[in-house]
Chains A and B, each alone.
Chain A
Amino acid sequence: DIQMTQSPSSLSASVGDRVTITCRASQSITSYLGWYQVKPGKAPMLLIYAASTLQGGVPSRFSGSGSGTDFTLTISSLQPEDFATYYCQQSFSSPFTFGGGTKVQIK
């Protein structure tokens, strides 16, 4: 199985900050990488697919990059509604494993 390792596991940031979350796969997954946002009590939301393509309706302050084994999710200017937990997931091969998550908290 492909292991997905996210870092950091949590971070504190202020509104307006630039935030970067990284995700590393245990083997190459080419660009089969999605990023999801999860808020308590709400359905998860797809932000980025194919490593760098913004899902429709997602604000342009979110961006993704990377290929192979190393990937990055960037929030260019953190907004109050962005405080949440973020997960990467590979869909290169079954089982489609998630990273451990990154909780973005208010500083």
Chain B
Amino acid sequence: QVQLVESGGGVVQSGRSLRLSCAASGFTFSNYGMQWVRQAPGKGLEWVGIISYDGSNQYYGDSVKGRFTISRDNSNNTLSLQMNSLRFEDTAVYFCAKGTSYATDWGQGTLVAVSS
């Protein structure tokens, strides 16, 4: 069965960087696009970005463009999210999800809290 396990969340000061990881198993990781989605406390879902199956293309939401970078390591079945210049409003649970047009499987999420 598909398993996606996020890690790397925590408390970080505003302006600093953090890197999240997502370990994938139960499917052929290199065949699928992967996404990051976040949910701030008490708020709705917000799309962060997507990476193609081979890592050649990435697209981002407006609020993170230029600050966040999605990458993948198909040899180790790992998805990453490098978050730079973090802001208070980046505080959220970050989910990784499998799929390009539709997120068919999701991890449980990892909490990122940005403090001032």
Contact = CB atoms under 8 A, between A and B. Distances in A.
Interface stretch (A19-27, A32-40, A62-70): A32-40
A44 B37 contact: yes
Q: How large is the interface on B (under 10, 10 to 19, 20 to 34, 35 or more residues)?
A: 20 to 34
Interface stretch (A10-18, A74-82, A88-96): A88-96
B60 interface: yes
Given A1-B62, A44-B103, A49-B101, A100 B44 contact: yes
Contacts, number: 59
A71 interface: no
Please tell me the size bucket of the interface on A.
Answer: 20 to 34
Interface in B19-50: 35, 37, 39, 44-47, 49-50
B62 to A, nearest CB: 6
Contacts of B60: 94-95
Interface of A is mostly: loop
B103 A97 contact: no
B102 A43 contact: no
Contacts of B103: 34, 36, 44, 46
Given A91-B101, A95-B61, A44 B106 contact: yes
Closest 7 CB pairs of A and B: A94-B59, A43-B106, A91-B101, A49-B102, A101-B44, A95-B61, A98-B45
Interface of B: 35, 37, 39, 44-47, 49-50, 59-62, 95, 97, 100-104, 106-109
27 contacts: A36-B45, A38-B45, A42-B108, A43-B106, A43-B107, A44-B97, A46-B103, A49-B101, A49-B104, A50-B102, A55-B104, A87-B45, A91-B100, A94-B50, A94-B59, A94-B60, A95-B47, A95-B61, A95-B62, A96-B50, A97-B47, A98-B44, A98-B45, A99-B44, A100-B44, A101-B44, A101-B45
